[in-house]
Amino acid sequence: MPEPKQADKPLKKLPDSLALFVEDMKIRFGESTDIIYRLITLGPFTAAIIFIEGLGDPQLVIQAIHRDLFLFEQLDPHQPEESLNILKERTLTSGKVGEARTYSEIEAEILSGNTIIYIEGAAITLSVGTETLKQRGVEEASSQSVVRGPREGFTESLRENTALVRRRIQNPKLRIEQRKLGEQTQTAVAVMYMEGIVDMQVLEELRRRLDAAKLDSVLESNYIEEMIQDKRYSPFPTVYNTERPDVIASALLEGRIAIFVEGTPFVLVVPALLVQFFQSSEDYYQRSDFASLVRLLRYFCFGLALLTPSFYIAITTFHQEMIPTTLLISLIGQREGIPFPAFLEAFIMEITFEILREAGVRLPKSIGQSVSIVGTLVIGQAAVDAGLVSAAMVIVVSITAIANFSLPAFNVGISVRMLRFVLMAIAASFGLYGIMIAMIILALHLCSLESIGIPYMTSFAPLRWQSQKDTFVRLSRRTMKKYFGRN
Partner 1 sequence: MWGKKVGSILLLISLTLLSGCWSRKELNELAIVMALGIDSVPEGYEVSAQVMNSSEAGGPSGGSSGSLPVITYKAVGKTLPDALQRMLSTTPRILYLSHIRVLVFGEEVAREGVSDVLDFINRNHQLRTDFFLLVAKNSKASEILEVITPFEHIPANSLYSSILVAHKNWAATGKVTLQQFIIELERGGSNPVMSGVQLKDDVSEGGSIKNLQTITPKSLIQHAGIAVFQKDRLVGWLGEASSKSLNYVLNEVNSTTGNVTCEGGTVAFLITKADSSIDIKLNPENEPEFTLNLKTEANLTAIQSTIDLSKTSSIENIRSRIEKKFIVNIKRDIKEVQEKYGSDIFGFGEALHRQYPDIWRSYRKRWEDRFRTVKISVRTSVTIRRIGSVIQPQKRELELK
List the one residue from 187, 292, 316, 471 that touches partner 1 (CB under 8 A).
316
User: Which string of b and e fits 197-208 if b means at least 16 CB within 10 Å?
Assistant: bbbeebbebbee
Q: Does 164 bind partner 1 (CB under 8 A)?
A: no
At 22, which helix (H) or strand (E)? Answer: helix 18-29
Q: Does 142 bind partner 1 (CB under 8 A)?
A: no
Q: Of 31 and 321, which has the nearer Cβ to partner 1?
A: 321
Query: CA-to-CA distance for 400 and 95, rounded, in angstroms?
Result: 55
* Per-residue contact string for residues 397-416; x = within reach of partner 1 by CB under 8 A: --------------------
Query: CA-to-CA distance for 381 and 336, rounded, in angstroms?
Result: 17
List phi, psi (to 5°) of 80: -60, -40
Q: Of 330 and 370, which has the nearer Cβ to partner 1?
A: 330
The answer to whether 366 and 448 have CB atoms below 8 angstroms apart is no
The answer to whether 356 and 371 have CB atoms below 8 angstroms apart is yes
* Per-residue contact string for residues 337-376; x = within reach of partner 1 by CB under 8 A: xx--xx----------------------------------
Q: Of 170 and 325, which has the nearer Cβ to partner 1?
A: 325
Contacts of 374 (CB under 8 A, 6+ apart): none
**Per CB under 8 A, which region of 115-123, 229-237, 295-303, 334-342 contacts partner 1?**
334-342
Residues 429-448 close enough to bind partner 1 by CB under 8 A? 429-431, 433-434, 437
List the one residue from 335, 420, 469, 474 that touches partner 1 (CB under 8 A).
335
Q: Of 244 and 335, which has the nearer Cβ to partner 1?
A: 335
Query: CA-to-CA distance for 267 and 157, rounded, in angstroms?
Result: 11
List the one residue from 104, 185, 317, 468 that touches partner 1 (CB under 8 A).
317
What SS3 class is residue 34? coil
Task: In angstroms, give the least distance from the CB of 422 to partner 1.
Answer: 13
Q: Does 385 bind partner 1 (CB under 8 A)?
A: no
Query: CA-to-CA distance for 111 and 52, rounded, in angstroms?
Result: 7
**Per CB under 8 A, which region of 18-26, 96-104, 347-355, 422-430 contacts partner 1?**
422-430
Give me the residues paired with residue 31 across strands: none
Query: CA-to-CA distance for 197 and 180, rounded, in angstroms?
Result: 25
List the one residue from 330, 369, 370, 479 that touches partner 1 (CB under 8 A).
330
Please tell me the total number of residues recorded for the chain in this structure. 487
Query: CA-to-CA distance for 440 and 450, rounded, in angstroms?
Result: 18
Task: In angstroms, give the least distance from the CB of 403 to partner 1.
Answer: 24
**Per CB under 8 A, which region of 65-73, 302-310, 403-411, 423-431 contacts partner 1?**
423-431
Q: Of 56 and 309, which has the nearer Cβ to partner 1?
A: 309
What SS3 class is residue 53? strand
Query: CA-to-CA distance for 60 and 346, rounded, in angstroms?
Result: 65
At 50, which helix (H) or strand (E)? Answer: strand 45-52
Q: Of 335 and 417, which has the nearer Cβ to partner 1?
A: 335
Chain residues that interact with partner 1, rule: CB under 8 A = 316-318, 320-321, 325-326, 328-338, 341-342, 391, 428-431, 433-434, 437
